[in-house]
Every structure is written in C-alpha cells, then in structure tokens.
Structure 1
C-alpha cells in the first residue's frame, strides 16, 4: 500500500508579493501584520514634537521662576568666560574644519604619500616644521589632523602637526613678540620648546603607540561623493561633531576659571618648580587660544620667565576644550594616553629651554 505524498511546505511570501498584494489583503489564512506596523515613524515624529514642546515649556517656566537668580557675580563671570572662549575659538574651528574638508575632498591621497616621508623618524619632524606655515589655533588643528589621517598620513605625523601648528605658526610667533617687547628670547624659547615637545611626542607615539588606542576619524554621510559635494558633506559632519565638544570644553573651562582663585597661584609664585606647575595648570584650565595667550601671560609679572614659558607652551597643546575635541574625534582611549604624554613632554622642554635661554 503506497503512502500518500505529504504536501510540500509553503514558502514564505516575499517582500515583493506582500507589497503587490497590500497589507490589508489576507493571504491563505496568514495573519495580518500587527496593527502598529506602518505607523511607528509617525508615532515617533509625534512623540518628538511633544517632547520639544515640553522642553520649550520647561524653559519658559524656568525663565519665569529663576530670572532673578542669575545675577550673582560668579555666574556672570562664568558666562562671560564661556562666551569669550567659545567666540574666540569658533572662527578658528570653522577654519580648521574647512581646511580638513578641503584636504579630504580635493587633495588626493598620493600627494600626502609623496610629501610626507614614509619613515616615522623623518615624517614626524617634517610634520612638526610644517606647523610653522599654517596659521590656526588648537581648535583648528584637531579636524585638520583627522583629515590628514583620512588621506593616509601616518598617525604619528598627523599628531605631531596637531601639536605644532597652534604653537609655532607665524601668527603665534608674531603675537608673542608683540606681547613681550624687548624680549625676543621669549618668542624663540616658545618656538623651540613647542617644536621639541611636538616632535618628541610624535616619535614616542610612532615607537610605542598602538592602532587600537586611536579611533579612526569618522567620515560623515556621503563619503563616496567627490569634489564640492564631498567638501560640503565633510565640513557639515566635522563642524557639528567638533562644535559640540568645543562647547563642552568651554563649559568646563569656564567653570574651572571661576572656581580656581588667583590667590592660590600667587602663593606659589616664589617657588621655582611649583610656579611652573601652577601656570601650566592655569593654561590647561583657562583654555585660551594660542593667538591670544601671550597677552595674558605677560600679566603674570610675579612669576619667573620659565613659569611664563610653561603657560605659553602647555596651553596650545593641553587644555580642557582641546581635550574635549580630541576625545570627540579620536576617543577617550586616545586621550588617556596622549594627554599625559604631551603634558610631560611640554613640561620637560619648558624646563630645558627655559633654563637655557631665560
């Protein structure tokens, strides 16, 4: 007695069949999709509108309740410092983002492969000296370094440029000469100490740095585009990404600026080593752009020349807003290793060059 063949299992309907049939038409007893399907995007948009409305309502209520409470001198000082840091840094950040986008969009990778030596021993000093050509502050150097890495430049060379460009470019050198009239040795000491620290960090990173410590720079949507489309896409992505971390760094720097009393610094001005460390810490906290920090440093008349040099050398390479920008671009694993290394080298070259020239 022959067995009756079992029916073949029905195959699952394809997406094309479902679209052709329509979700409201049953298919051989198959269950219809859940009723919430097809409406999730609209629901999310509605929820977003309500959340934004609640946010605006909360701001309005907060302004009505707390309007008279934000007139304290400390808060006004904090707001002034935050505004000054943000407005001072924003033009240079835009400049750096535009330059980084131009590098990504218009400069072919083969140019950098030819311009930058392959050996790190030569690539690092070449990148350091190239920082003397390009005006810009530390806010601009981070996106530019990211753009160089995207075009195939070795991370050690790109990071050397990141440190050197805001510290030894022509605008900074001229500003230092103007701020310290009759003291050209201060500008020379700043140039030599900054270049030495940048190259030293680059060589050490080339020798001991690991790929997993450095998150590859992100590329925005439209990475496959070329020319002006790629320029606009890269600039929009980098500006939104780096701008948020600039604001975060400015908030922290303004808070530390208000909370750290100047009397604490004056108390250590007469101690050689502590005075250097105190002005180095102040440079990290104040987060002043390198084009303007010389005019602040000249006011520290109670400190030694080497301590003032520490303020000028450390600030463009290690400050709060720069740390935030580096973390946003390269990750916190990078910052945890790169910032202490940079700080140690800047202090070492400050003592070395300051003791020699000043």
Structure 2
C-alpha cells in the first residue's frame, strides 16, 4: 500500500493500451455542456420557479469552477513537488509556537479540505506535533489566497468579509491546536499503516492528485449548488425571512447547513453569497464552519485518524467555529 491513496478515477488504458474516458472526463463534459446550453435549457422550463432554480444553480457553478480548478492544480503541485520533510524542519520545535506557525502555513499551501486531511496525517508521520498538524488541517482550506480571492469575488460589496473570514478561521485553527495541546491524548490518533513508495512518477502523482480533488471537490460543488438553488426555490420566502430575522437561529441554521452541504472551501463563498436573506454574521459562520467541519471531513478524519479522534475533534471544532465566527462578525458588523 502506498502513501498516496488517491484513486485513479480518470481516463484509463484500454485492453490494447488505448485511452478510455473516465469519470473526470464525464464530469468535465457535463459541466461544459451545462454552461454552453444554459439558455436553451432555461427555455425548456416554463415554470418561473424552475427557471430560478436553473439560474441560481448555473450561476454558482460558473463563478466557482475557475477557482476550484486553479486551487486543485496548485494544491497538487505543492503536494507532489514539495518534500514532506520540509514542513517538519520549517516549524518551530516548541509545540505551542508550532501551532500558529503551522496555521499560517495555510497561506502558502492552497488547497481544499479534501487535501488537508492526508497532508496533516503525513505531517504527523514525519514528526510534526499533532497539535500543529491539526491547526494546519483547519487553517489551510480557509485562509489560503485562492479561497480569500474567491470570497472577495463572491462578496464584491462587502470586502470586510475577506478579513473577517481570515481572522476568524486563523483564530479557530490556533485555538483548536492549543486546545489539543492541553486536552488531547496521543492514543486518540491512530494513523493507518502505510509503507513509503518512492518509485512512482511525479507527473503521474500530480495527475492522480488533480483527478482525486476534482472528483471530490467538483462533486460536492455540484451538490452544494443544487442545494443552494433548491433552498432559494423550495423554502418559502417567509420561512427564510423569519429564520434570518432571529440572530441566534440564523447562525445555528447556516452552521448546520455548512456541515450538511460539505461544499469545497474554494466554492462555498458563492453559495453563501446566494443566501442573501441571512445576515453577514451568519454567512460568516457558514464560511468558517464549512472548511473545518462537514460530513465529508468527518468521514475522512475518521478514516485517517480514527473514530475516537473524529467523535471528539469534530464537535469541539464546530462549537469553537460557531462561537469565534459569531464574535468576529459582531465586532466587524
């Protein structure tokens, strides 16, 4: 078993060595056709509610896909060509100082949360203190330049959302890292045994990384866009307005929604922007919770670090993210 567990989900070689399209190619063709035939498809649905659903769904995809593709490619470059031992040498030796340093490392390591989980596991294997690796796991998907740029594009009239998201996410990552230093136990983390394999081609590893992240992040983006469109159409406006009017319920509702939708951090800002009924503070909570606690992340963390870890770390992170996000939003707005 190799250190790279990314499945080869793209085109494969045929029986005679020929190339056959795979799931990545099918997804790419579907997205291109959906965008290219947006107008004819909209004309096929006469119901105004269906037209609204199509408009919201396609708009979220069109805005988010460029950031998603660029982020996946850059994340794969760094994951494949930057030696894993570099991070262990670059971080301070003292665990308390390593936590904020590892959190800030997320600025220079763009990528979605799907990639941060295996990278954090690799850091622990290479001798990085678990508190620092976990701080990196939380910070990297939330404060990297691609995510913050996407947030600025999604909220052109509210540039303070970028600052709020960066500050809140960084504070949460550091707080959780220090909390692990205080209360965490080494026996809660059980990494699966994996033998190192240095024989693979870097180019093949790069494309495998891209295929893996595109399929996972792209698939969840489509689901998130569909959910956002459905919420805008199916849920009565009076319900949303009533829920959004309550400052406590609106925060809890969008925090829970972030967990359920499991949207890639490079695309979640566009979904949050579409939920215009809610306050900026509640949408900020949506943006800080999603990259740190969602269904796919909980599953990935359980597989990488063990169930005993996931059942403790995920709820603690959720509570911390809601409290910090709300506090930062209350100060800024």
Tell whether 2:188 aligns with 1:213.
Answer: yes
2: distance between equivalents of 1:258 and 1:181? 21
Give 4+ residue runs of structure 1 displaced > 2 Å after superposition.
87-103, 111-114, 223-237, 242-267
Structure 2 counterpart of 1:226: 198
- Alignment TM-score, normalising by the size of structure 1: 0.63
Structure 1 counterpart of 2:107: 132
Query: Following TM superposition, by how much is the alpha carbon of 1:184 offset from its aligned partner in structure 2, in angstroms?
Result: 1.4
In the alignment, is the contact (CA less than 8 A) between 2:103 and 2:136 conserved in 1?
yes
Tell whether 2:148 aligns with 1:179.
Answer: no
The unaligned stretches of length 5 or more in structure 2 are: 1-52
Alignment of 1:149-160 (within 5 A): 149-160=124-135
2: distance between equivalents of 1:305 and 1:254? 19
- The one-character-per-residue Cα deviations of 1:135-154 (angstroms, maximum 9, x if unpaired) are 11111111211221222111
2: distance between equivalents of 1:173 and 1:244? 22
2: distance between equivalents of 1:184 and 1:90? 21
* Larger RCO (CA under 8 A, 6+ residues apart): 2
- Return the match for 1:117 from 84, 89, 92: 92
In the alignment, is the contact (CA less than 8 A) between 2:116 and 2:141 conserved in 1?
yes
Cα 1:209/1:96, change in 2 over 3 Å: farther
- The one-character-per-residue Cα deviations of 1:200-236 (angstroms, maximum 9, x if unpaired) are 00110122111111112542xxx35436479979997
The unaligned stretches of length 5 or more in structure 1 are: 1-76
- The one-character-per-residue Cα deviations of 1:147-187 (angstroms, maximum 9, x if unpaired) are 21222111111111111011010011111111111321111
1: distance between equivalents of 2:185 and 2:203? 30
In the alignment, is the contact (CA less than 8 A) between 2:112 and 2:217 conserved in 1?
no
Structure 2 counterpart of 1:11: none
The CA RMSD measured in Å over matched residues stands at: 3.7
Structure 2 counterpart of 1:356: 331
Structure 1 counterpart of 2:279: 304
- Return the match for 1:339 from 286, 292, 314: 314
- Return the match for 2:173 from 198, 201, 207: 198
Query: Following TM superposition, by how much is the alpha carbon of 1:244 offset from its aligned partner in structure 2, in angstroms?
Result: 11
2: distance between equivalents of 1:198 and 1:179? 23
Cα 1:187/1:280, change in 2 over 3 Å: same
Q: How many residues align?
A: 270
- Alignment TM-score, normalising by the size of structure 2: 0.68
In the alignment, is the contact (CA less than 8 A) between 2:259 and 2:290 conserved in 1?
yes
Aligned residue for 2:311, secondary structure, equals helix
Structure 2 counterpart of 1:269: 244
Query: Following TM superposition, by how much is the alpha carbon of 1:347 offset from its aligned partner in structure 2, in angstroms?
Result: 0.7
